[in-house]
Amino acid sequence: MTDRIVMSLEEVDALVRHALEANGASPVQARAVARIVTMAERDICESHGLFRVPGYVASLRSGKVDGKAVPVLSQPAPSVIAVDAKKGFAPLALETGLGPLADLAHETGVAALAVRRCHHFAALWPEVETLAEAGLVGLAVTAATPMVAPAGGTRPLYGTNPVAFAFPRDDQPPMAFDMASAAMARGDIMIHAREAEPVPEGVGIGPDGAPTTDPAAVLAGAQLPFGGYKGAAIALMVELLAGAVIGDLFSFEAGRGLKDGGPPEGGEFVLALDPARFGHGRDWVARAETLFAEIAAIEGTRLPGDRRIANRAKTARDGITAKAPLLAEIRSLAGEPT
Ligand code: NDP
């Protein structure tokens, strides 16, 4: 662990804000991104924590992202909230829309949020957890750039297209899963490439279309969906929800944009449901707990999200550990001594 440096969550948050503001982000955009990055570090989701900061900065420096964008909220239909991110980062646009989305879902039972023209680089569990903490069931999807081959194909077309889902619980954090529809998240393949470690079989194919465990070859070739055609169908659904339904880019269209190593332009679709408005009068939280207890009774199981929640206690106590070269790079981007 000699190449890792211990930091408090407050230090992580301050460093990210500093790096973004030093490169032209407004304090409010920088704060929203720093919050998301710090949450990822808090839960030890390294591929969406500090690792992403050089990319965020690159997209400010290239001018692709408007670091001073002010998201604009609208309500195009009685159950639909829309946020135009104005080409800023996704976290502030999501913060802008989630409160109104939750209010609407409590009122109508079902509501959707369309975040458009944002630059997304983060995990999706923060938004669905926010909804579940407000007593709602949340679902979120976003597309990306072409990285994943459709079933049977050898050329990338879909993004790694994550799906996140959260369900409220009694007196404890929500159950939430958040997963790429690719066999492995892009960030994890990049980390394997940086550390020259092979990826498992089934993660991707090289530029020649042949299966490979070389992460660099996968990055140059195509990732594969999880579960073959089943994961590919989920990736397709994500493209349709986050592209066609909300009126934003498909991954293959976003891939034509500026390649600066930062987050691509695209949208996010978020759905919120209030089970209390479904007219059955049953204690739906208790019903869910019955199912969770049945799962826990089977040896070897855990609920999705349990790893992250357990990590919170650890990082609150011990802080996080950041890789020294990455930290030096971010400090340099922030204009701080390394
Ligand atoms: P993982 O495969 O690591 O985990 C997927 C989900 O499965 C998590 O919710 C995880 O919970 C859960 N899980 C893992 N193991 C078990 C188990 N044994 N029992 C029950 N549940 C389990 O995630 P991915 O690598 O697919 O995705 C990582 C992140 O990348 C996601 O947050 C996703 O949003 C993000 N991403 C973002 C993109 C973007 O464009 N913005 C694109 C693609 C991905 P736990 O966390 O508790 O382990």
| Tens-place pLDDT, residues 270-279 | 999 999 999 9
> In the prediction, which pLDDT does 83 show?
98
Nearest residue by C-alpha to atom 3 in ligand 1? 179
Which pLDDT tens digit goes with each residue over 112-129? 999 999 999 999 999 999
* Ligand 1 atom closest to residue 124's alpha carbon, by position in its atom list: 34
Take residue 197 and report the two structure tokens written for it: 């470690």
In this model, does residue 1 exceed pLDDT 60?
A: no
Take residue 21 and report the two structure tokens written for it: 């503001």
Q: Is 185 in the pocket of ligand 1 (CB under 6 A)?
A: yes
Residue 268: closest CA among 136, 159, 165, 119: 119
> Alpha-carbon distance 120 to 177, whole Å?
18
Q: What is the mean pLDDT of the chain?
A: 96
Average pLDDT on 223-239 reads 97
Q: Is 144 in the pocket of ligand 1 (CB under 6 A)?
A: yes
> In the prediction, which pLDDT does 227 show?
96
In this model, does residue 18 exceed pLDDT 70?
A: yes
> Alpha-carbon distance 216 to 321, whole Å?
26
Just list the catalytic residues.
Answer: 47-48, 188
Residue 236: closest CA among 145, 165, 143: 143
3-state secondary structure of 166: strand
Average pLDDT on 186-196 reads 89
> In the prediction, which pLDDT does 133 show?
97
> Alpha-carbon distance 22 to 26, whole Å?
9
In this model, does residue 173 exceed pLDDT 70?
A: yes
Q: Where are the beta strands (DSSP E) in 23-149?
A: 72-77, 80-84, 110-119, 137-142
3-state secondary structure of 45: coil
In this model, does residue 301 exceed pLDDT 80?
A: yes
> In the prediction, which pLDDT does 2 show?
54
Which pLDDT tens digit goes with each residue over 203-228? 999 999 999 999 999 999 999 999 99
- Contact by Cβ (8 Å): 34, 17: yes
Tell me how far the alpha carbon of residue 162 lies from the centroid of ligand 1, in angstroms.
Answer: 8
Question: How would DSSP label each residue in 209-239?
Answer: S-EE--HHHHHHSEE-BTTTHHHHHHHHHHH
Q: For 36, phi and psi rounded to 5 degrees? A: -70, -40
Average pLDDT on 285-300 reads 97
Average pLDDT on 5-26 reads 98
Sorting pLDDT into bands at 50, 70 and 90, what band is 89? very high
| Residue indicated by tokens 């042949």 | 210
In this model, does residue 185 exceed pLDDT 90?
A: no
Average pLDDT on 316-334 reads 96
Take residue 98 and report the two structure tokens written for it: 């989630």
